[in-house]
Amino acid sequence: MPGKQKEIEFLGIPEMRKQFESLTGSLQRRVLRQAVNAGATALSSAIRKATPRDTGTLKKSVKRKPSSKWRSGKAAASKGIIGATVGYDIQKAPHWNLIAYGHKAVYWGHETGERVPGQTYFQKAAKNAGPAIRAKITAKAKQALPKAIVKQMTK
């Protein structure tokens, strides 16, 4: 499985590494997929908490998408890529980029030459959530690994 070493080193638990490497490829992918999805869920909730709330549309539009649902999901899977994307649903909140990056100020249909500054809540939330994401990934891997070992033994 390409890139397997990096994910395991990210967990930082040597005992788990030996157990993980004893699993079959499909069970390894299952454990990694569950851990990555747990991390993506933690990131999306951190971003949702940091998102400014006016009408709530932007906050509700924060979504996570596993790599299996990507447009190139089958190609990614064939290369051994397991991941998740966290971002905004453009259908629900097409204005997310105006809030995040800023825009020209337009009042009553006239450009004023002023610029409304962007709010960097997305980047700040992602940066601050790092330890929580690692903890969720590790906890989910610790939870999923014994189940995968039992499943392999029963086969």
Q: What confidence tens digit (pLDDT) does each residue in 11-67 have? A: 456 777 777 788 888 888 888 889 889 999 999 999 889 888 777 888 888 888 887
Domain boundary assignment for the chain: 4-89+125-154
Mean of the pLDDT values across residues 92-116? 85
pLDDT band at 69 (very low <50, low <70, confident <90, very high): confident
Residues 6+ apart with CB under 8 A from 41: 64, 136
pLDDT at 38: 92
Q: In the predicted model, what is the mean pLDDT of the chain?
A: 81
Report the b/e string of 89-126 with b at 16+ CB within 10 A: eeeebeebeebbeeeeeeeeeeeeeeeeeeeebbeebe
Report the b/e string of 2-26 with b at 16+ CB within 10 A: eebeebbeebebeebeeebeebeee
Count how many residues are written for the chain.
155
Residues 6+ apart with CB under 8 A from 97: none
In angstroms, how far is CA 66 from the centroid of its own chain? 8
Tokens of 91: 């259908």
Distance CA 145, CA 29 (A): 11
The answer to whether residues 124 and 50 touch, using CB atoms and an 8 Å cutoff, is yes
pTM of the model: 0.75
Is residue 71's pLDDT more than 60?
yes
Is residue 95's pLDDT more than 60?
yes
Distance CA 101, CA 96 (A): 9
pLDDT band at 138 (very low <50, low <70, confident <90, very high): confident
Is residue 4's pLDDT more than 60?
no
